[in-house]
């Protein structure tokens, strides 16, 4: 049986995967490039089948307890007056939680069953009939039975095993940025957003958290030559795109440009014909990123990791069978959740007329709450979640 499995990336996908692989009797090792678990990010949704995954992991009550208590979304004009305001309480067990809080809960749950190596990255992989020889930037070479890339949209595992990312990234015509923000710039427990044609700047404030989170999205028809590690280029791009914008954008922008953890990237999806190549497979954003506007990133990560571990276990560790069933069973859900067209037009209208129509829709009695809007915009999984529990190994 393929027992020793290396996972690249300790975020939502890698941590969920490590937990389930250990539960099924595998021996996961997680390698993360950052020196520690990465916090940061805005609220992400745990909904649909991700709730079932979290319940089966026994962490749903902790996720509920750490939920971000954002009431709703307010679109404002240049003077900060409300143009449209909508409540977006999630329904049932659905939870919005800060990404860093979710990662911390998943890590706490996974750490006893897996080996964790922080501050290193896979540098090379050579696979043969029996396993994969892996070299690292810092540590000595090691041999594993299987390798899983859970290392995000700019995955190193994908580049090494499947080729350059340009083959798989589908540009969505926009760039986005996340950064910390002075909470005084936003309304407590609300997401406040300001639009000018082709640009959106906003601030996210959860009442359970002291800080605010700034969000920026701007339209750019053709992608620039972009290096996702060049932070100086990121700052220039953001400063140029939001120069001269009204409302509190100059202050949000100044804060973002001063934030050492400013995150800027093109808005893109990952579309791949195959998520595995021999003994190497991909999961989460590395394989099927939906982009932040899909609102499905954490969901796809948790459900995909659960399915991948479960199918490997169901196949008795046979990676050929397990990887194939993982892709066959999950492709439909991925395709559905990657449909982001209406979301993007609502978030970043291209014209003042478009923004006016968006605001009218938001205020409409038919869609007078984002809960209603979300039911329309947020797709659901296409197949029932398989129950792999019977394969779980009881650990003493």
Ligand X SMILES: Cc1cc2nc3c(=O)[nH]c(=O)nc-3n(C[C@H](O)[C@H](O)[C@H](O)COP(=O)(O)OP(=O)(O)OC[C@H]3O[C@@H](n4cnc5c(N)ncnc54)[C@H](O)[C@@H]3O)c2cc1C
Among 5, 6, 7, 8, binds ligand X (CB under 6 A): 8
Does 298 interact with ligand X (rule: CB under 6 A)?
yes
Query: By CB under 6 A, which span of 37-45, 160-168, 187-195, 230-238 interacts with ligand X?
Result: 37-45
User: Is the Cβ of residue 83 or residue 178 nearer to ligand X in the bound state?
Assistant: 178
Query: By CB under 6 A, which span of 59-67, 144-152, 222-230, 385-393 interacts with ligand X?
Result: 144-152
**How big is the CA angle at 272 (ends 11 and 341), to the nearest 5 degrees?**
85
Does 139 interact with ligand X (rule: CB under 6 A)?
no
Does 13 interact with ligand X (rule: CB under 6 A)?
yes
Give the Cα separation of 10 and 178 in Å (integer): 20
Does 284 interact with ligand X (rule: CB under 6 A)?
yes
Give the Cα separation of 61 and 59 in Å (integer): 6
User: Is the Cβ of residue 33 or residue 142 nearer to ligand X in the bound state?
Assistant: 33
CA distances from 53 to 9, 239, 268, 288, 338 (A): 19, 40, 26, 19, 20
**How big is the CA angle at 70 (ends 336 and 102), to the nearest 5 degrees?**
65
**How big is the CA angle at 390 (ends 299 and 102), to the nearest 5 degrees?**
25
Q: Measured from the CB of residue 141, what is the shortest distance to ligand X in angstroms?
A: 15
Burial of 278-313, coded b for 16+ CB within 10 Å and e otherwise, reads bbbbbbbbbbbbbbbbbbbbbbbbbbbbbbbbbbbb
Query: By CB under 6 A, which span of 38-46, 224-232, 334-342, 350-358 interacts with ligand X?
Result: 38-46
Beta bridge partners of 73: 86, 191
Q: Which two tokens stand for residue 79?
A: 């003077």
Give the Cα separation of 321 and 314 in Å (integer): 9
Helix (H), strand (E) at residue 134 = strand 132-136
Does 33 interact with ligand X (rule: CB under 6 A)?
yes
Does 150 interact with ligand X (rule: CB under 6 A)?
yes
Among 52, 106, 152, 279, binds ligand X (CB under 6 A): 152
**Residues between 165 and 184 with contacts to ligand X, criterion CB under 6 A:** 178
Query: By CB under 6 A, which span of 32-40, 57-65, 328-336, 382-390 interacts with ligand X?
Result: 32-40
Q: Which two tokens stand for residue 177?
A: 């940025």
Does 44 interact with ligand X (rule: CB under 6 A)?
yes
Does 202 interact with ligand X (rule: CB under 6 A)?
no
Query: By CB under 6 A, which span of 163-171, 296-304, 373-381, 387-395 interacts with ligand X?
Result: 296-304
Does 267 interact with ligand X (rule: CB under 6 A)?
no
Q: Measured from the CB of residue 98, what is the shortest distance to ligand X in angstroms?
A: 8
User: Is the Cβ of residue 156 or residue 359 nearer to ligand X in the bound state?
Assistant: 156
Q: Measured from the CB of residue 373, what is the shortest distance to ligand X in angstroms?
A: 18
Give the Cα separation of 339 and 209 in Å (integer): 31
Our measurement of the distance from residue 347's CA atom to the centroid of its chain's CA atoms, rounded to an integer in Å, reads 18
Q: Which two tokens stand for residue 44?
A: 């992400």
Among 6, 7, 18, 31, binds ligand X (CB under 6 A): 31
User: Is the Cβ of residue 249 or residue 298 nearer to ligand X in the bound state?
Assistant: 298
CA distances from 87 to 198, 205, 225, 269, 358 (A): 24, 14, 39, 28, 15
φ, ψ of residue 162 to 5 degrees: the values are -125, -10
Interface with ligand X: number of residues (CB under 6 A): 30
Q: Which two tokens stand for residue 208?
A: 């359970």
Does 151 interact with ligand X (rule: CB under 6 A)?
yes
Our measurement of the distance from residue 237's CA atom to the centroid of its chain's CA atoms, rounded to an integer in Å, reads 22
Among 297, 310, 349, 379, binds ligand X (CB under 6 A): 297
Among 4, 25, 27, 38, binds ligand X (CB under 6 A): 38
User: Is the Cβ of residue 304 or residue 322 nearer to ligand X in the bound state?
Assistant: 304
Among 56, 67, 99, 307, binds ligand X (CB under 6 A): 99
User: Is the Cβ of residue 78 or residue 227 nearer to ligand X in the bound state?
Assistant: 227
Query: How many helices (H) and strands (E) are present in the chain, helices listed first?
Result: 13, 18
User: Is the Cβ of residue 13 or residue 109 nearer to ligand X in the bound state?
Assistant: 13
Q: Give the binding site for ligand X (CB under 6 A).
A: 8-14, 31-34, 38, 40-42, 44, 99, 121-122, 150-152, 156, 178, 284-285, 292, 297-298, 301
């Amino acid at each position: 049986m393929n027992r020793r499995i290396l996972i690249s990336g300790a975020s939502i996908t890698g941590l969920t995967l490590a937990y389930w692989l250990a539960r099924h009797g595998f021996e996961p090792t997680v390698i993360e490039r950052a020196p520690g678990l990465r916090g940061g990010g805005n609220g992400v949704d745990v909904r649909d089948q991700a709730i079932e995954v979290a319940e089966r992991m026994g962490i749903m009550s902790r996720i509920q307890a750490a939920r971000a208590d954002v009431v709703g979304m307010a679109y404002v004009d240049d003077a900060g007056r409300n143009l449209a305001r909508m409540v977006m309480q999630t329904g049932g067990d659905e939870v919005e939680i800060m990404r860093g809080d979710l990662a911390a809960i998943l890590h706490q749950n996974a750490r006893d069953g897996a080996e964790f190596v922080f501050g290193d990255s896979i540098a090379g992989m050579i696979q043969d009939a029996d396993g994969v020889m892996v070299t690292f930037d810092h540590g000595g070479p090691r041999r594993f039975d299987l390798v899983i890339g859970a290392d995000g949209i700019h995955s190193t595992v994908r580049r090494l095993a499947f080729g350059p990312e340009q083959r798989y990234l589908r540009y969505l015509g926009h760039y986005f940025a996340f950064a910390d923000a002075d909470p005084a710039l936003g309304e407590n427990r609300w997401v406040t957003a300001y639009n000018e044609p082709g640009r959106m700047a906003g601030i996210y404030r959860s009442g359970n958290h002291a800080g605010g989170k700034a969000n920026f999205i701007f339209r750019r028809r053709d992608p620039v030559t972009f290096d996702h590690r060049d932070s100086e280029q990121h700052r220039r791009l953001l400063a140029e795109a939001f120069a001269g914008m009204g409302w509190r954008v100059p202050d949000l922008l100044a804060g973002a440009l001063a934030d050492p953890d400013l995150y800027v990237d093109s808005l893109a999806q990952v579309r791949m014909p195959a998520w595995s190549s021999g003994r190497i497979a991909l999961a989460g954003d590395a394989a099927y990123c939906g982009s932040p506007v899909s609102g499905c990133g954490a969901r796809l990560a948790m459900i995909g990791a659960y399915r991948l571990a479960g199918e490997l276990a169901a196949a008795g560790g046979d990676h050929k069978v397990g990887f194939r069933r993982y892709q066959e069973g999950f492709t439909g859900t991925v395709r559905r959740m990657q449909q982001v067209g209406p979301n993007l037009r609502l978030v970043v209208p291209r014209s003042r007329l478009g923004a006016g129509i968006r605001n009218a829709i938001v205020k409409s009695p038919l869609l007078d709450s984002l809960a209603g809007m979300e039911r329309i915009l947020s797709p659901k999984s296409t197949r029932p979640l398989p129950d792999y529990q019977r394969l779980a190994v009881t650990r003493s």
